[in-house]
Structure 1
Amino acid sequence: MRGEYKVPGGKLVAVDVEVTDGSLGRVAVSGDFFLEPDDALSRIDAALTGRPEDASVADLTAAVKAALRPIDTLVGFTPESVAVAVRRAVGRATGWHDHTFEVIHEDVPRAPAVNAALDQVLLEELAAGRRGPTLRFWEWVEPAVIIGSFQSLRNEVDLEAAGELGIDVVRRISGGGAMFMEAGNCITFSLVVPASLVDGLTFEQSYAFLDDWVIGALADVGVRASYSGLNDIASPAGKIAGAAQKRVVGGGVLHHVTMAYDIDAEKMTRVLRVGREKLSDKGTRSAAKRVDPVRSQTGRSRAEVIAAFDAHFRARYGCVDGALRPEEVARAEELVATKFGTPEWTARVP
């Protein structure tokens, strides 16, 4: 059996494994990484041989580390990446190419609260085995502030200013920070995947791993970007996007990204109480200036950028056209009425 893992920003690690009586009978690690001295590779192979077939990433990582000497140098990969590749080889973890993704991009916009509810619905449907991995691009009309699951409403949002400007406030199920979203000025998409795809990865590693294709798609439209911190995507001109996650234990992972296409920074500072800090984080000091890293760096329309992202994802992974099912939409609308559209949920952290 063979497993592969491409380290985000690093090299490919491949592992060929033979399993005998529940143990790793033969292990051969290879890849385009760099390793000195040469004999370290045989020591890694030997350290993994004989380990239980169902050994955890932590156990396999510890075995690799124990085989390494202080003089050994690993470049472009880590002991953890070897362990993930082993888990994939024996079928305990999966890779991108083990799945076929549905890609959904509706022409009809939906209210921000419905979009937030759909994220929960699709995650639940995947965890229940009724839906496969899915990439969904959001479309909406009403301006909104989408706050993280654990943020304080009054500390994050000027509710009086939001009411004056007709801006909805919606709390999502994932953590992270507040997002100021106007139709046509942001690009937002959600990725729902099985937990097996991020098996063995830390939360920090999984963010970069699930957004590796985004860095490639940005390069396609002329933006040189990289991951910054835990969950931000940045370019030399400043922050471009932020990601957030929600996991269902033993089930699925929701990973969504909001990208600044052409933000009205002055309006954002009126609504978000931490607007000035966000502006600084995005590479501009003046509230009168628009935060537009994607528009200004690409010269393309929002629709063209989304099309490029869609094409890059489809070229990279196995995809089919997808659509929301009537029962999924109905469930989302029910959740808006009982959860996402209620004061109790929106102000659950006052």
Structure 2
Amino acid sequence: MTTLADRDWRLIRDEPRAGATQMALEEMAAETALSEDLRTVRVYDWEPSTLSLGYRQDAETVDWEYCQQKGIDVTRRQTGGGGIYHDRYADISYTIVAPADEVPGDLMECYALFCEPILEGLKRIGVDADFARVEQSAIYQPSCYLRNINPAHDVVAPAEDGDEAGKISGNAQYRQREVVIQHGSISFDREATAHVGVFDTDLEETTFTDRVTSIREQAGIDREQAVDTLADALGDWCGAAEGEWADDELEAACDLADRKYGADAWVRDRETLEASG
């Protein structure tokens, strides 16, 4: 338990939503943290499966035809790094949103704090995971899971394997209007075909499977149990009450998804969003 438990938090066990809406909801959570003094932790899924591009990622790295053929959405995150294929089944994602003045100002310290519940959740599941002990060089820079493994924010398993451990979670942060937002992808299973297929490259599937591991591989539990355990760890970490999105948050998120996160101007060209009328 951390001192964050002295604040008001809600835990949202979110339903599957389109990628654009999931990204927009993070901005709504930031607004709520400031206006309602209510912080958010959540776990969520992507429906349909979605490729989320890093903030500065070149859209030309995407195999748009493959994504269209396979029914894979594409959106762009506010955080940097490489693209992540969020499979409807194989990916488990989470978000933590809190006012910036309540958390460490140092980026590495904040990563360490916000990853506590993720490491604890993986431990409860039965996965020997920890921050990478050594950096591993990049295999394919446009892909989050194939970029260089960074000990500051990449989680690997089994931790005891050192530089041979596989990446199981990537985490990223950004600050918006005095709020810190951290989100991350946790690999429940490996869908190597799609993970390499969404990019305009000829990478072999083994390139992905040699670098990445998963909860299923490490612990063998079912997905529902893994999601519930990770959600419980997030809630216990900050003393969150079970909660849900307010109607006005969902309405605003749908509007923002249409205007920004689902729009080609943002996804392909990272054009600045115009204010709504």
Question: Which amino acid in 1 is paired with 2:131?
Answer: Y
**1:256 Cα offset (Å):** 0.5
**1:258 Cα offset (Å):** 0.5
Residue 126 (structure 2) pairs with residue 222 (structure 1): yes
Asked if the contact 2:42–2:94 (Cα under 8 Å) also holds between the matched residues in 1, the reply is: yes
Q: 1:235 aligns with which of 157, 167, 173?
A: 157
Q: Which has the higher contact order (CA 8 A, sep 6+)?
A: 2
1:64-93 CA-to-partner distances (Å, cap 9, x unmatched) read xxxxxxxxxxxxxxxxxxxxxxxxxxxxxx
Q: After superposition, where does 1:163-182 map in structure 2 within 5 Å?
A: 163-182=68-87
Residue 265 (structure 2) pairs with residue 338 (structure 1): no
In structure 1, distance between residues paired with 2:204 and 2:41: 31
Equivalent residue for 2:58? Answer: 152
1:268-295 CA-to-partner distances (Å, cap 9, x unmatched) read 2111246849965x6617xxxxx55211
TM-score (norm 2): 0.81
Asked if the contact 2:131–2:155 (Cα under 8 Å) also holds between the matched residues in 1, the reply is: yes
Question: Which amino acid in 2 is paired with 1:100?
Answer: D
Equivalent residue for 2:136? Answer: none
Q: Number of paired residues?
A: 247
Inter-CA distance 199–97: structure 2 relative to 1 (3 Å threshold)? same
Secondary structure at the aligned position of 1:162 is classed as helix
Q: 2:21 aligns with which of 103, 114, 119?
A: 114
Q: After superposition, where does 1:1-350 map in structure 2 within 5 Å?
A: 95-106=3-14, 108-127=15-34, 129-155=35-61, 157-200=62-105, 202-228=106-132, 229=150, 230-236=152-158, 237-249=165-177, 251-273=178-200, 276=203, 280=207, 284=210, 292-349=213-270
Inter-CA distance 313–343: structure 2 relative to 1 (3 Å threshold)? closer
In structure 1, distance between residues paired with 2:154 and 2:204: 15
Question: Which amino acid in 1 is paired with 2:25?
Answer: L
In structure 2, distance between residues paired with 1:187 and 1:294: 10
In structure 1, distance between residues paired with 2:206 and 2:250: 35
**1:326 Cα offset (Å):** 0.6
Secondary structure at the aligned position of 1:164 is classed as helix
Question: Which amino acid in 2 is paired with 1:193?
Answer: A
Structure with the largest fraction of strand: 1
In structure 2, distance between residues paired with 1:227 and 1:273: 30
Inter-CA distance 137–275: structure 2 relative to 1 (3 Å threshold)? farther
Asked if the contact 1:120–1:173 (Cα under 8 Å) also holds between the matched residues in 2, the reply is: no
Inter-CA distance 112–279: structure 2 relative to 1 (3 Å threshold)? farther
Supply the RMSD in Å over aligned alpha carbons: 2.4
Secondary structure at the aligned position of 1:254 is classed as strand
In structure 2, distance between residues paired with 1:172 and 1:278: 25
Asked if the contact 2:153–2:170 (Cα under 8 Å) also holds between the matched residues in 1, the reply is: yes
Asked if the contact 1:151–1:349 (Cα under 8 Å) also holds between the matched residues in 2, the reply is: no
Asked if the contact 1:152–1:349 (Cα under 8 Å) also holds between the matched residues in 2, the reply is: no
In structure 2, distance between residues paired with 1:276 and 1:244: 25
Please say which structure displays the higher CA radius of gyration: 1
Q: What stretches of structure 2 of length at least 5 have no aligned partner?
A: 133-149, 159-164, 272-277
1:1-29 CA-to-partner distances (Å, cap 9, x unmatched) read xxxx98xxxxxxxxxxxxxxxxxxxxxxx
Inter-CA distance 183–101: structure 2 relative to 1 (3 Å threshold)? same
User: Share of identical aligned residues, percent?
Assistant: 28
In structure 1, distance between residues paired with 2:115 and 2:210: 24
**1:190 Cα offset (Å):** 0.6
In structure 2, distance between residues paired with 1:284 and 1:263: 11
In structure 2, distance between residues paired with 1:197 and 1:146: 28
Inter-CA distance 138–279: structure 2 relative to 1 (3 Å threshold)? farther
In structure 2, distance between residues paired with 1:275 and 1:120: 35
Asked if the contact 1:101–1:134 (Cα under 8 Å) also holds between the matched residues in 2, the reply is: yes
Secondary structure at the aligned position of 1:242 is classed as strand
Q: What stretches of structure 1 of length at least 5 have no aligned partner?
A: 7-94, 286-290
Secondary structure at the aligned position of 1:311 is classed as helix
Question: Which amino acid in 2 is paired with 1:239?
Answer: K
